[in-house]
Chains A and B, each alone.
Chain A
Amino acid sequence: AQKITQTQPGMFVQEKEAVTLDCTYDTSDPSYGLFWYKQPSSGEMIFLIYQGSYDQQNATEGRYSLNFQKARKSANLVISASQLGDSAMYFCAMRENSGYSTLTFGKGTMLLVSP
């Protein structure tokens, strides 16, 4: 079974609009962390935001916020006021607390921001 599911292969958004990228996860571990990474066409992986399973509040980092719904096992990324430079591949990832905490990635969502 997929541990991280990103159902949107691609998303379009107009500049200055907000966009939500979906991510659902599957774990039986009570302690885990959820991450979002951005991968522009140049290929590097850029950390955006982190949410811990015990965090009471949704994580926010500038224009990025994480809509964490623990009961639904979802961790959607919300980008407010999209910019052209936000066009990239976005990966949701999870680290479980068991073992040595390998990061497991979803398949990614390609975001295209149009002027």
Chain B
Amino acid sequence: EPEVTQTPSHQVTQMGQEVILRCVPISNHLYFYWYRQILGQKVEFLVSFYNNEISEKSEIFDDQFSVERPDGSNFTLKIRSTKLEDSAMYFCASREGQGATGELFFGEGSRLTVL
């Protein structure tokens, strides 16, 4: 069964360092998302991406964050200068089409720990 894959599964970094989280969405999917979940809290939307551009972003997704689809298969989330509060599980997700119907497929998550 096709799946969304994420790397790394866990990254530890020092405050102020740049981090890139990578995702390979399901191949025929067109809509891509990043969500994050701070430990013990709910899953929060960060950004959605369609047709090689950001389609929607939350207030969490500030100038420190950026997304890119560099090569047609990878979908990356970059955090320019990490802060302690960026420590969270980051989930990539993808889906086939627009509209309310249709499953959103999640990756297994990348746990980011900022020291």
Q: Which residues of A contact B (CB under 8 A)?
A: 29, 31-33, 35, 37, 42-47, 50, 52-53, 91, 93, 95-97, 99-108
Contact = CB atoms under 8 A, between A and B. Distances in A.
**Residue from A100, A105, A106 with most neighbouring chain B CB atoms (10 Å):** A100
Contacts, number: 72
A52 B102 CA distance: 9
B42 A102 contact: no
Interface residues of B, number: 28
Interface of B: 31, 33, 35, 41-45, 48, 50, 55-56, 89, 91, 93, 98-109, 111
A100 B48 contact: yes
A29 to B, nearest CB: 8
Contacts of B105: 47
Contacts of B35: 103, 105
A20 B89 CA distance: 27
Given A43-B111, A52-B101, A100 B56 contact: yes
A102 B43 CA distance: 12
Contacts of B111: 43
B106 A45 contact: yes
B109 A43 contact: yes
B101 A50 contact: yes
Contacts of A102: 33, 45, 48, 56
